[in-house]
Amino acid sequence: MKSEKITLYFKQGTSDKVYNASLEEVENNSFVVNFAYGRRGATLTTGTKTKKPVNYASAKKIYDKLVKSKTSKGYAPGKEGPEYVHTDADTKETGVRCQLLNFIEESEVSQFIRDDDWWAQEKYDGKRMLLRKTDTVTAINRKGLSVGAPDTIIRSAGSIDRMYLLDGEAVGETLFAFDLLEIQETDVRSQPYSQRLSHLESLGLSSSIIIVGTAKTQEAKQELYDRLRISGGEGIVFKKHSAPYTAGRPNSGGNQVKFKFYATASVIVTKLNEKRSVAIAVIDGEDQVGVGNVTIPPNKDVPAVNAIIEVRYLYAYQQGRLYQPTYIGVRDGLGIENCTISQLKYKQEIG
């Protein structure tokens, strides 16, 4: 079987990045070129340069061009660090579905703080990641696909002597765990959140997996809310402690909701502009609606056309353009259905 793979490193100042490329045969005389990149030791963003398998000559040309483009930017082969292998497991369907939360408005926050039926936790700004520990550890994204994860997280997950399936948010080399779905081959999704949290705490997680702190009283919830707002946190999550774990997103409401201190949107890259800028759009019915441009910081790779990225912004004009958008990163766990115009928050007209 013809195949090639390479791991490239780039280290300069505070930047320490890794880029993995592979040319692999997926069926007789059909090949794909895959890649993964990001900060060394962190969760890597994965993708492919071949939307469908191609012949070897075409794949080899794509692969060589990809490697050359990275080495010309200062990336170089290195012996340190594990070699990346893009296998079918990177996109294998696991059957796991996570619970998705609806947003609430700022005017609704106070009622959840006052209501003793609801607890609160910090909302972390990372990548959704579930961990299933059996004989091995499998990391799962929000789409239910198995994905790569930092070695530190995998090692910490594997050190627990019980089997489990937990839910969390990966931020760099740390996973912030906030729910438990299974323990010792027992499905606990139907149990109240208060019991699932107790099961999660009983696992004895440590090191690179941290259980998210929970505020349970009105005073504690208000203190958490105030602290997160002052410190520039992403947001706060409210959970009904008597409710089960329900996969998917409800049409409205739900037994878990979230509030963000600033507006964010998942958008589609439609064009690569000059000077590290990309044009972005959202979906309105069957149409794409342009919402402006966003600059990509010099310490981050420019995303490809049709990539889904996350941007932070102050507000949207009624015509759809975002005011002061800031690039956050690629959202490889999302689909185009997440990029709807309905997610935008508009500037309030005065008068």
101-119 tens-digit pLDDT: 998 988 999 999 999 999 9
Domain membership of residue 157 as a residue range: 102-260
220-269 tens-digit pLDDT: 999 999 999 998 888 999 999 999 999 999 988 999 999 988 888 999 99
- Single out the residue in 54, 86, 118 at which a domain terminates: 86
With 0-12 / 13-18 / 19 or more C-beta atoms within 10 angstroms meaning exposed / middle / buried, residue 72 is exposed
Question: Does 350 map to a domain?
Answer: no
- Single out the residue in 216, 243, 260 at which a domain terminates: 260
User: Same domain for 62 and 195?
Assistant: no
pLDDT at 122: 96
User: Same domain for 256 and 117?
Assistant: yes
Quick one: tokens of 17? 């990045």
Number of domains in the chain: 3
Question: Does 95 map to a domain?
Answer: no
197-217 tens-digit pLDDT: 999 999 999 889 999 999 999
- CATH number where 294 lies: 2.40.50.140
User: Same domain for 293 and 217?
Assistant: no
With a cut of 90, say whether residue 143 has pLDDT above it.
no
285-330 tens-digit pLDDT: 888 899 999 999 988 888 888 889 999 898 888 777 898 899 998 8
What average pLDDT does this structure show over 10-27? Answer: 80
With a cut of 90, say whether residue 336 has pLDDT above it.
no
Instruction: Print burial letters for 270-294: b (CB count within 10 Å at least 16), e (below 16).
Output: eeeeeeebbbbbbbeeeebebbbeb
278-287 tens-digit pLDDT: 999 999 888 8
Question: Does 93 map to a domain?
Answer: no
Question: Does 97 map to a domain?
Answer: no
Question: Does 94 map to a domain?
Answer: no
User: Same domain for 242 and 312?
Assistant: no
Quick one: tokens of 254? 């739900």
**In contact, 101 and 234? CB cutoff 8 Å:** no
Q: To the nearest whole percent, how much of the chain has pLDDT over 90?
A: 52
- Single out the residue in 260, 288, 321 at which a domain terminates: 260
**In contact, 33 and 21? CB cutoff 8 Å:** yes
CA 189 to chain centre: 22
Q: To the nearest whole percent, how much of the chain has pLDDT over 70?
A: 93
Question: Does 254 map to a domain?
Answer: yes
With a cut of 50, say whether residue 62 has pLDDT above it.
yes
The strand pair at 214-215 and 235-240 is best described as unpaired
Instruction: Give strand pairing partners of 248.
Output: 99
pLDDT, averaged across the chain: 87
Where in 150-213 does DSSP place strands (E)?
164-171, 174-183, 186-187, 209-211
DSSP secondary structure string for all residues of 4-22: EEEEEEEEETTEEEEEEEE
User: Same domain for 248 and 272?
Assistant: no
Length of the chain: 351
User: Same domain for 204 and 318?
Assistant: no
User: Same domain for 158 and 205?
Assistant: yes
Give residue 277's identity as a one-letter amino acid code. S
Secondary structure class of 268 (helix, strand, coil): strand
Question: Does 251 map to a domain?
Answer: yes
User: Same domain for 144 and 268?
Assistant: no
Question: Does 330 map to a domain?
Answer: yes
pLDDT at 81: 39
User: Same domain for 112 and 245?
Assistant: yes
pTM beyond cutoff 0.75:
no
User: Same domain for 131 and 218?
Assistant: yes
With 0-12 / 13-18 / 19 or more C-beta atoms within 10 angstroms meaning exposed / middle / buried, residue 248 is exposed
- CATH number where 204 lies: 3.30.470.30
> 171-175: long-range contacts at Cβ-Cβ below 8 A with a sequence spacing of 24 or more?
171/124, 171/125, 171/126, 171/127, 172/39, 172/41, 172/42, 172/43, 172/126, 173/41, 173/42, 173/208, 174/208, 174/209, 174/210, 175/129, 175/131, 175/149, 175/208, 175/209, 175/210
User: Same domain for 144 and 172?
Assistant: yes
* 86 band by pLDDT with thresholds 50, 70 and 90: very low
CA distance linking residue 6 with residue 113, whole number of Å: 51
pLDDT at 91: 57
Quick one: tokens of 303? 């995303």
With a cut of 50, say whether residue 274 has pLDDT above it.
yes
* 89 band by pLDDT with thresholds 50, 70 and 90: very low
User: Same domain for 241 and 109?
Assistant: yes
* 85 band by pLDDT with thresholds 50, 70 and 90: very low
